[in-house]
Structure 1
């Protein structure tokens, strides 16, 4: 009888340890990233709103200039909460997926997310610097 009780206590302790480990890994899944792309002077945040849905904040200096939400899917067009700098739909798409890939890279360490981050980052920089250089060369009337 005593052996049965001790065995049950041992099982309960092991189950409790497993449950704590599971809960802490669940909580650890929501990695929040905060990073800056110096070439375009923008800061990005990204975290998991809930399972598979992300939110991305875009900041210029200390002001939040755009807010996006969407799914963790490469072809998903994010919903736009606001866009105070009138970024093009293409730029917003690139911002969202760049931040999403960076966040997933930090969470998983998967090289495919590193490749995605680099791809979207380079396209975003090219898109925004092209827009700036075209604006600067336009005559003022």
Structure 2
């Protein structure tokens, strides 16, 4: 059964500027230094309708093979991105990212639905830790996370 990973981070930033940064692959790679590398991923911003295929390594040595990311939707007015991702170990990694105005800046929310067969529980926990790490590196003021069952 699929799991939903939810990570919310509060930043002392303008929501529009924070969302623009969320679209930057360069910014993502910087936030993932020491955790993951993405061979073949450009430094550009994500583009709606584009498919990116990258070779991903975790912690510099664990090769997870080719990771495919299809950017299904980017909505600037709603500050929303939806991607559909997968790799040899994970058949579904659907990532919805939103940035909303908050009381003290902006709230960045990552919601990832993961289906990795028998590996789902471990993959969901790994994702939760990776997204927590990304937000810590980005200097979020506050971060909350949870993993829940996906109800069909």
Structure holding more helix per residue: 1
Q: Which has the larger radius of gyration?
A: 1
Same fold (TM over 0.5): no
Structure holding more strand per residue: 2
Higher relative contact order (CA 8 A, sep 6+): 2
TM-score in terms of structure 2 length: 0.30
